[in-house]
Amino acid sequence: MNGNGAALAKRRGLGDRKVRVLGQKYTLSEMGAGYLLLIPSIIFLAFLFVYPVIRVIYLSLTNFNMATGVMDYVGLRNYEYLIGNDRFWKSLLNTCLYAAAKLAIDTSLALLLAVMLDSRIPFRRFLRSSYFAPVVVPVVASSLIWIWFYDPSVGPFNQILSWVGLPQLRWLYNESTSLMSILIFSIWKGLGYNIILFLAGLQSIQDSYLEAARVDGASEWSIFWRVKFPLLRPVTSFILMIGIINSFKVFTEVNVMMPKDLKSMIQLIVNYIYEQAFTNGRMGRASAAALMLFVIIFVLTMVQRMIGARKSLEID
């Protein structure tokens, strides 16, 4: 065999050599082809996710003012400002209260309605096709409709309260009821998404489990709590995780529906970030607040996943 043939055979031998990656064996040629195909996706993700994150981290360490264009490195001074700022902590507290109430009411109500839709009730097909309608309606359009619903003088909600003999409320136009009004709208807007997830989980439960429980003499209530609900735990964990993320990043509802004089009083954390960035022009403070929000959501999500994984192990 001449020199060129020996070199070609050697390269082929190297290409056929297998390497173990994440428990699987691949040849060097397969790995090379895989990395080559991944390059466009890696570049796309780097520009879409990695660079913005690095940029936000850098901006959080500066006092970049969008109005003047001045950018000076200030270290952790923005974080010190946020830790000592009462409005930041008030907006964070409002967000935590909003998220806790929304998660508790939204998840419980979605589970209840999903169980009802999974059983034999009148107009079941119509209800299954209509409960998801609010989810597909744009937030701004539905917000404008609900502003009319909440109108203290001509809104239908106050008319209903008058018919049943209850005192009328100012809804969005009062500090004590404005956050509750936003919460009611948000629950209505996102309830259908959670219902469809719970309904899919209920319909994926094998009938043999339910029949075995009925043969043993279990009531429908016992079947739900001892069979259906434990099997729905992965779906519930996913709904809670998505709910935490969505509740802490709510913005449009407050920005569109809340009156201007109450936006600064009943403020959620994302609205505070928006105000610092685009109203006050303090992009550095806004970036620092956004990173703190990311850390809070990340920690809460990890805690929820750990609790869900521990309960799944207990069931197994």
Distance CA 14, CA 258 (A): 66
Between 241 and 21, residue with greater pLDDT: 241
**Superfamily for the 77-315 domain:** MetI-like (1.10.3720.10)
* pLDDT (average), residues 48-61: 90
C-alpha distances in angstroms, 52 versus 41, 55, 275? 16, 5, 20
pLDDT score at 21: 67
Look at residue 14 and tell me whether its pLDDT is greater than 60. Answer: no
Between 2 and 196, residue with greater pLDDT: 196
| Lowest-confidence region among 24-28, 38-42, 131-135 | 24-28
Distance CA 217, CA 176 (A): 50
The model's confidence at residue 45, banded by pLDDT at 50, 70 and 90, is confident
pLDDT score at 29: 76
User: Which H helix or E strand runs over 18?
Assistant: strand 18-21
Whether the model pTM is above 0.95: no
Distance CA 269, CA 139 (A): 19
Q: What is the pLDDT of residues 254-298, one digit of tens each?
A: 888 888 877 777 789 999 999 998 888 889 999 999 999 999 999
Distance of CA 124 to the CA centre of its chain: 29
Look at residue 12 and tell me whether its pLDDT is greater than 60. Answer: no
Say which DSSP state 171 is in: G
Query: At a CB cut-off of 8 Å and minimum separation 6, what does 28 contact?
Result: 14, 15, 16, 17, 18, 19
> CATH 1.10.3720.10 residue ranges in the chain?
77-315
Nearest residue to 241 (alpha-carbon basis) of 311, 312, 303, 313: 303
pLDDT score at 8: 45
pLDDT score at 9: 47
